[in-house]
Amino acid sequence: MNLDLTAEQKLIQDTAREFAAAELAPIAADLDRGENNEAFFSNLKKLAELGFMGLNIHDQYGGAEAGAVAFSVAVTEIARACASTAVTVSVNNMVNEVIQALGTEEQKKRYIPMICSGDSLAGAFGLTETGAGSDPAGMTTTAVLDGDQWVLNGSKIFITSAPYAGVFVVWAVTDQKAPKGKGISLFLVEAGTKGLTIGKREAKMGQHASSTNEILFEDCRIPKSALMGKINDGFRVAVAELGGGRIGIGSLGLGVGLAAMDFATRYSLERVQFGRKISEFQAIQWKIADIYTALEAARLLLMNAAFRKEQGRSFAKEASMAKVFATETANQACYQAMQILGGYGYTQDFPIERYARDARITTIYEGTSEIQRLIISREILRELS
As beta bridge partners, residue 273 has 276
The type of residue at 380 is I
- Residues in contact with 236: Cβ distance below 8 Å, sequence separation at least 6, in sequence order: none
* Whether 160 contacts 124, CB under 8 Å: yes
Nearest to 126 by CA among 44, 208, 209, 187: 187
Distance of CA 98 to the CA centre of its chain: 14
Q: What span, in angstroms and rounded, lies between the C-alpha atoms of 40 and 320? A: 30
Is residue 65 flagged as an active site residue?
Answer: no
Report d(CA 97, CA 108) in Å as an integer: 10
263/114 Cα distance (integer angstroms): 37
What does DSSP assign to residue 23? I
DSSP state at residue 129: B
Residue 249: count other Cβ atoms within 10 Å of its Cβ: 30
**CA distance linking residue 49 with residue 310, whole number of Å:** 23
Residue of 366, 370, 379, 383 with catalytic role: 366
Say how far apart CA 236 and CA 219 lie, in whole Å.
26
Would you state the torsion angle of the CA atoms of residues 305, 309, 315, 321, taken in this order, to the nearest 10 degrees? 20
CB 36, CB 96: distance < 8 Å: no
Report the candidate in 116, 27, 22 with the shortest Cα–Cα distance to residue 77: 22
CB-based contact 52:115 (threshold 8 Å):
no
Buried b / exposed e over 294-333, threshold 16 CB at 10 Å, is bbeebbebbbbbbbbbbeeeebbbbbbbbbbbbbbbbbbb
Q: Which residues are identified as catalytic?
A: 366
